[in-house]
A and B are shown apart, each in its own frame.
Chain A
């Protein structure tokens, strides 16, 4: 197995996730795209960890924990927006635009 096959798969997933973050308007779908990005990072961490010792796997576990916290807070924020504005369309949220 080449190291690059894992790294390139991670790069492809990362770019698809970035596309999703840019293009999607629905808040929940943007959170899903962020999960794609975090998983791409996890593949890289574990692939390098397989080369260089245990630290990659440990950091992948930390990333999973932080992703769980992030999606919990993110969904709470999306629900709050939905409750206040009856929409989760991110293009509608432009109060903070100067």
Chain B
């Protein structure tokens, strides 16, 4: 026990599962509670702008989880792209399509609510059951931190072709968005 703790302390890269995982678990728990609450508010809020702001909390929690999983580059990209760009884009969409900002009752399809709850609960039961039965008490065996260097080595090495395809996709999306949104 003590020897393993000392070995973990001597390890320059202190892996979370070898050190005490308690702080990470506390951070995860607090983040998860906030995320689930905010996600429920995203799909139930009666104010579109509030829904977008709750979405920011969910996205920040996802970035926190990426940091706990030692993928800091993905976490930074999450903050830059999602919180910095996509939420702003969604807010622009809200402002351009809904002149009266505020509480409105016609955001939900009330008839579809029981169906939505049923589908969500059944899906969650199936997913959670299969996850628990197949992964049980597996620990996250963090191999090595996903540093910027290793991510870039992977993207510009074995994943170069998919990366180029994604850049072409982004260009096509840019052109398509301009064509669609442009006035005749």
User: By the criterion CB–CB under 8 Å, are A68 and B66 in contact?
Assistant: no
* Most chain B CB inside 10 Å of its own CB: which residue of A6, A13, A39: A39
User: By the criterion CB–CB under 8 Å, are B93 and A75 in contact?
Assistant: yes
Sort chain B's interface into a size bin.
35 or more
8 Å CB contact of B35 from A13, A33, A53: A13
Q: Which residue of A is nearest B109, CB measured?
A: A25
Chain A contact residues: helix, strand, loop or mixed? helix
User: By the criterion CB–CB under 8 Å, are B141 and A51 in contact?
Assistant: yes
User: By the criterion CB–CB under 8 Å, are B131 and A12 in contact?
Assistant: no
* B153 contacts across to A, CB distance below 8 A: 54
Contact with A along B114-125 (1 / 0, CB 8 A): 011101110110
Sort chain A's interface into a size bin.
35 or more
Chain B contact residues: helix, strand, loop or mixed? helix
Q: Does B9 contact A (CB under 8 A)?
A: no
Q: Does B143 contact A (CB under 8 A)?
A: yes
Q: Does A77 contact B (CB under 8 A)?
A: yes
Take A3-B138, A8-B131, A19-B117 as given contacts and tell me if A13 and B58 are in contact as well, using a CB distance cutoff of 8 Å. yes
Take A1-B16, A1-B24, A61-B77 as given contacts and tell me if A29 and B48 are in contact as well, using a CB distance cutoff of 8 Å. yes
Take A4-B132, A43-B62, A76-B181 as given contacts and tell me if A60 and B170 are in contact as well, using a CB distance cutoff of 8 Å. no
* B119 contacts across to A, CB distance below 8 A: 18-19, 22
Docked CA distance A61–B108 (Å): 32
Docked CA distance A1–B139 (Å): 6
* A71 contacts across to B, CB distance below 8 A: 86, 89-90
CB-CB contacts below 8 Å: A5-33 with B = 5-9, 11-20, 22-29, 31-33
Mark B residues whose CB is within 8 Å of A: 16-17, 21, 24-25, 28, 32, 35-36, 39-40, 42-43, 48, 51-52, 55, 58-59, 62, 65-66, 68-71, 73-74, 77-78, 81-82, 85-86, 89-90, 92-94, 96-98, 106-109, 112-113, 115-117, 119-121, 123-124, 127-128, 131-132, 135-143, 146, 150-151, 153-155, 159, 162-163, 166, 169-170, 172-174, 176-177, 180-181
Mark A residues whose CB is within 8 Å of B: 1-9, 11-20, 22-29, 31-33, 35-36, 39, 42-43, 46-47, 49-55, 57-58, 60-62, 64-73, 75-80, 82, 88-89, 91
